[in-house]
Chains A and B, each alone.
Chain A
Amino acid sequence: MKDPIQELAQRPQRYWYTDGLTEIAIGVTLLLLGLTFLPKGLLPPTINAQWFFGAGRILITLVAMILTNYGVRLVKEHLTYPRTGYVSYRNDQGLLRWTRRGFVISVAFSIGVVFALISRLEHINGWLPMLASLVIAVAMLSTAHRVGLARFYVLATYTLVLGGAISLLVIDDGVQPLVFFTLFSLGWLVSGTLTLIQYLQRTRPTSEQME
């Protein structure tokens, strides 16, 4: 039997995703990431260029994530908070905060380096979408479990199916990542947009205050 008090404490965590804005932001980030695979075919196959794009993609992803995070907060101020209320989440403070950020950046960079190395191994290169979707799906399942949102389980399943399909289909290696990230972002954009539409339909701005 679930702890009802724990379920109540979980509700504000779920609230961050109530308007679909985060999913839209993630979809945009993934679309930008997919676009970074466009010039790959135009570059000479030098080791330096491969390493550059491996690190460059991580940097572009991190910058996009930071920008979309601020964008989401800004839109929430004008759209979400006047309709269903304001929630501020507890963050780490001081050294622990920067240590955690440094860890995330290091992990993201390491994953980028590993994928860049794997992409040079021709016999498993085609399975990169499956590998990437597996990593992403695990992260999404973890989030789905933490906040208790059913549609994140659907997105995780979509991610796995997409990764498998892209890996199995005969697609040119040069466009395979672009196809994968474009379709991947589409799932997030559709999910976020539908959620936002439903949210706007069932809520109205209000100014309820304490008596």
Chain B
Amino acid sequence: MVYPTGRKYTKEHEWIQTSGSTGVIGITDYAQESLGDIVFVELPKVGTELAAGKTFGTVESVKAVSDLYAPASGTVIEVNAELATSPEKVNKDPHGAWMVKIALKNPKELDALMSAADYEKFVAEEAGH
């Protein structure tokens, strides 16, 4: 699996892509694969303050609920409304189906996250357990 470069990854399997002071957040292919068929995505409202490492929403499969963790702090400026009616997009195109866009509060926070290559290694180890 190739994870897109130019993004940062968390140990909780979220990705974040920045352009200027905006961060776009989604979950990784590994995450959608282990969750199975996603049936519902619960996202915060525009204007919500996210704190790095804290939960900001949930993704549900038929028999499991997983929290979403913010890769970085910031204010939600846009939510992918499409996921409300088509949660399956997360399964089909995890790295395209973004969830929220935030105005980054402290872009330096991203330095602590993994690169695509590091994340791929991390995932390989986790799957090995």
Interaction A to B = no
Which residues of B are in contact with A by a Cβ distance under 8 Å? none
